[in-house]
Structure 1
Amino acid sequence: MPSEALKSSLGAQLRALRRARGLTQEQLAEQLQVTPRYLAGVERGERNLTLDSVDALAKQLAVSPSVVLDASADED
């Protein structure tokens, strides 16, 4: 999978997980101590995430890191 497609898939998965938990971008960004603009960029597939970032997202969303990375998961 090309890098851009991977970032897009990861962003879509993150958006689905966030929405499934009833969180706005602003709420999740505050909990993660990042800006809403940064989180929006991640969800649009414009930003790269480190493994530490994936781990932090997973903890905040109460899922395993593999769920965040699984673009085939159906969380909606």
Structure 2
Amino acid sequence: MIVATNIRRFRMETGLSQQDFAYEIEMDRTYFGGIERGERNVSIDNIERIAKGLKIKPFLLLVEADPEDSITGSRLGR
């Protein structure tokens, strides 16, 4: 669930809906929604695609965020 939570958190920061973000990264909306809800497994290739769309390094989707860090602080790894 860490990956799903991080994807949702970073996607919401962009201000885009699931549908708009999925369109931008050329991924089916229902598949992307399933990833974000933790209902689907996500491949490394798709983690890279999602991270590129979020303009972050892929590893940031794989690590648990420190609750005391602000979103800006967690993005220092760009």
- TM category (shorter chain) comes to 0.7 to 0.9
Larger CA Rg, structure 1 vs 2: 2
The structure, 1 or 2, with the larger RCO (C-alpha pairs under 8 Å, 6+ apart) is: 1
Amino acid at match of 1:46: E
The TM-score with structure 2 as length reference comes to 0.78
Say how many residue pairs are matched. Answer: 69
CA distance in 2, matches of 1:28, 1:42: 13
Q: 1:60 aligns with which of 30, 53, 63?
A: 53
**2:16 matched residue in structure 1:** 23
**1:3 matched residue in structure 2:** none
Amino acid at match of 2:21: L
Amino acid at match of 2:8: R
Gaps in structure 2 of 5+ consecutive residues: 73-78
Q: What does 1:4-43 align with in structure 2 at a 5 Å threshold? A: 8-43=1-36
Measure how far apart 1:71 and its partner are: 2.6
CA distance in 1, matches of 2:53, 2:11: 10
Amino acid at match of 1:50: S
Among the aligned pairs, what percent are the same residue?
30
Q: Deviations over 1:11-44 (max 9, x none)?
A: 1110000001111101111012112111110011
Measure how far apart 1:48 and its partner are: 0.8
Q: The residue matched to 1:15 in structure 2 has which SS?
A: helix
Amino acid at match of 1:45: G
CA distance in 2, matches of 1:25, 1:50: 18
